[in-house]
Structure 1
Amino acid sequence: MTADTTTTSYWMNWRVLICTILVLISLFLASILISKYEGPRKLKHGSRETRQEPAGLLYEDEVWRPSVRGIHPAWLLAFRVVAFIVLLLMLALNVAVDGGGIFYFYTQWTFVLITIYFGLGSLLSMYGCYQYHNKVGGARIDHEEFDAEQGTSGAPRDAENSNMSNVVKSLGPNEERPVRQIAGFWGYAFQIIFQVNLLKQ
């Protein structure tokens, strides 16, 4: 015989309280670890450690640029939009055919999270394609090829940008080099959703 989960007495017992406390403790500890080891951190100025990238740092362009150098970000945008539309249609049809009761199953929530991942990825790619074609920080970012796997910039695409490359190379040790922008809340939320989906498989 199965317990009726719609009654208040089912939820108001000591087992549910213990489970709730354990989940909240896990969330609290996870938030402490994330704030300590992930995201942007203040680096010590005046030491050699300022040149090293801390682990877990996510740059804004890493969420919308393809990892393969030379592929235009619009291709990643197109893939994400098509995937989002297909997944959303499949989810809507599944709910229409089987009803809302499908969400009692863990696998359906995983499918919803993957759909959200592609939806958020589509929005971030749209923003990235907009940035790709506009000036960011006084320099056009589409004139510089970025290798996301190595985190380095390649040679400029045209001759007029070679002067900018020479300026960057001639900077002295006390002068600042161009800085990539660190991802904001939505970039890190996108990464967290990706990692959660990866762990569920």
Structure 2
Amino acid sequence: MRCGQTQVGDERGTRQRLPEHVRPKAIAEKDFAWGPASTFAVADFSGLRVGASLRFHIILRLLLFLAFPSNIRRWRDTGPCLLQTLSPFPSAMAGGEEDEGPGYWLRWQVPACAAILAVPAAVSVAVISRSRAVDLPRSSDLWSPCWSKLSPLWLLGLRALALSILFWLLCRAVLLDGAFAFYFYTQWTLSLVIIYFLIGTFVSAHGCWIYAKHATENDEADAFFKRDFGEELPATSTGSNRNRNSSKFHNVYEWVDDEQKAGSWGYLMQIAYQTSAGAVTLTDIVFWGLLVPFLSAEHFKLDLLMGCMHTLNLVFLLLDTALNNLPFPWFRMAYFVLWSCVYVIFQWILHICGFSWWPYSFLELSTPWAPFWYLCLALVHIPCYGLYSLIVKAKISLFPKIFHRVYIRP
């Protein structure tokens, strides 16, 4: 029986009562019993005298269940787990009073894990407050490629394509699972990547408009000099014309650089970029390195949608990194840490409100190993962000040596 439910009927259809210490107290006069295994462990609530508050609790959980349309389709496979969510007695169906209710949050693991969660969050806030004005990019860095002969339209096209495909994947996940899709860190990360490409698409579109406008002005200025001073100017060779055309990008970018630094939208775009880079690395490493190889087919099934969600997010980010001019400073790992802290706090709030299932087993607080897992979860942010930072540093250091004629050093 799934979800830790051991109260199942035998082959003769007899029922096994719950132990005394896990019976609902002061609610029902009749003993709470399980049906036969053939009924998917549907609880027998006949004879229960349900009060007004309990009826409201049942209705609220049923409304939450209806918000997850795919659960109806998956009832045969996940019936016991969903009953645990829908049950007005979550403590009984989760395995005992010690797993739910106020007693669950009075364990010694809870303050220890809360401290492990609070310390990185406080350090991240302090780092952000001190480094907010450091390393602000130039406005042209947000939309200009790092390749001298590559038009900004290519970066715009890549960001628009990534936005369309990733948004379609997220919509498919929401249509399949409803609001339950955002119960997982993967969908949080995918939403953040979509936000980055959404901002990047609009910023690139605005940058392409600036580029086209000032490129036209440069062409008009060249035509003016050719018409009025062409006889006095020395004749230019084909090679010099090619150099002037290739430097057209630099002239436009330098003009924009003299105008202004990146504003609030540029700062927000950088935050989304660097946070999503670390989060995507963490998500894909955990998925492909831990979940896929070690989880059995009974509890985990890899499908095309899930594989695309854990592949295309990193692929599009790496392609964008190969083209963009955005910096990747270490101090912005603080936003990545805060992002994960917000997700863990979100899970804690849901469980305080009555949810009894953790999407990731290492977030479970009832095990004595919980502080160790939370500490590992905090420390793993460093190599995940560092791995992507190494990729950016490799691009900055190796590309000028390999493509020294076309690569623009940021």
Above 0.5 in TM-score? yes
Counterpart residue number, 2:200: 121
Change (3 A) 1:90 1:158: closer
Identity %: 29
Query: TM-score if structure 2 supplies the norm length?
Result: 0.31
Could you list the runs of 5+ residues in structure 1 that have no partner in the other structure? Answer: 41-55, 144-154, 165-177
1:34 to 121, 124, 128: 128
Counterpart residue number, 1:85: 164
Deviation at 1:125, TM superposition (A): 0.6
Change (3 A) 1:158 1:190: closer
Counterpart residue number, 1:104: 183
Q: For the residues of structure 1 that align with 2:178 and 2:169, how far apart are their CA atoms?
A: 13
Please tell me the residue identity of whatever aligns with 2:196: Y
1:157 aligns with 2:251: no
Q: Could you say what secondary structure the match of 1:65 adopts? A: coil
Query: TM-score if structure 1 supplies the norm length?
Result: 0.59
Change (3 A) 1:198 1:27: same
Deviation at 1:190, TM superposition (A): 1.2
Please tell me the residue identity of whatever aligns with 1:95: V
- Matched residue count: 153
**C-alpha deviations, 1:140-163, integer Å up to 9, x for none?**
6xx9xxxxxxxxxxx75389xxxx
Contact map agreement 1:80 1:118 (CA 8 A) in 2: yes
Segments ≥4 residues shifted beyond 6 Å: 1-4, 14-22
Give me the CA root mean square deviation. 3.9
Deviation at 1:97, TM superposition (A): 1.7
Change (3 A) 1:32 1:84: same
Please tell me the residue identity of whatever aligns with 2:124: A
Q: For the residues of structure 1 that align with 2:258 and 2:130, how far apart are their CA atoms?
A: 22
Deviation at 1:27, TM superposition (A): 4.7
1:198 to 253, 256, 277: 277
Q: For the residues of structure 2 that align with 1:135 and 1:24, how far apart are their CA atoms?
A: 49
Q: For the residues of structure 1 that align with 2:268 and 2:111, how far apart are their CA atoms?
A: 29
Deviation at 1:67, TM superposition (A): 1.4
Higher helix share: 2
Counterpart residue number, 1:131: 210
Could you list the runs of 5+ residues in structure 2 that have no partner in the other structure? Answer: 5-80, 91-100, 222-242, 252-256, 282-410
Counterpart residue number, 2:149: 70
Deviation at 1:180, TM superposition (A): 5.5
After TM superposition, list the pairs within 5 Å mapping 1:7-18 onto structure 2: none
Q: For the residues of structure 2 that align with 1:158 and 1:185, how far apart are their CA atoms?
A: 31
Contact map agreement 2:137 2:261 (CA 8 A) in 1: yes
**C-alpha deviations, 1:10-64, integer Å up to 9, x for none?**
7xx6788987787676555434423433435xxxxxxxxxxxxxxx231111111
Q: For the residues of structure 2 that align with 1:185 and 1:18, how far apart are their CA atoms?
A: 37
